[in-house]
């Protein structure tokens, strides 16, 4: 019997720096949506500007998605990752 791989799921809160145009957050959101492993992106009000649902095969892959994918986008100034402990 083949064992089904458990995916790692996390929500990543993203803070965006101030941009020159009103569509700055929208442009960054569109870039985040293109990152591999990103499943959903929501614009929110509050301390962060975006909440991103990410799925990966491992915690290491999740870290790579956040650091190399999301944090590397021009305009992203901070992230906070919330790893889902149980479904």
pLDDT value for 9:
97
**Residue spans of the chain under pLDDT 50:** none
pLDDT value for 23:
84
Global pTM reads 0.88
Of the chain, the end-to-end C-alpha distance in Å amounts to 23
Q: Domains in the chain and their CATH numbers?
A: 8-83 (3.30.70.920)
| DSSP designation for 69 | I
Count CB-CB contacts under 10 A for residue 14. Answer: 26
């Amino acid at each position: 019997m083949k064992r089904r791989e458990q995916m790692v799921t996390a929500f990543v809160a993203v803070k965006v720096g101030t941009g020159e145009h009103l569509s700055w957050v929208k442009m960054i959101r569109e870039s985040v949506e293109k990152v591999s492993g990103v499943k959903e992106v929501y614009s929110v009000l509050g301390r962060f500007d975006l909440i991103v649902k990410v799925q990966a095969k491992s915690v290491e892959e999740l870290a790579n998605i956040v650091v190399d994918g999301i944090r590397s986008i021009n305009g992203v100034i901070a992230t906070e990752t919330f790893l889902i402990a149980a479904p």
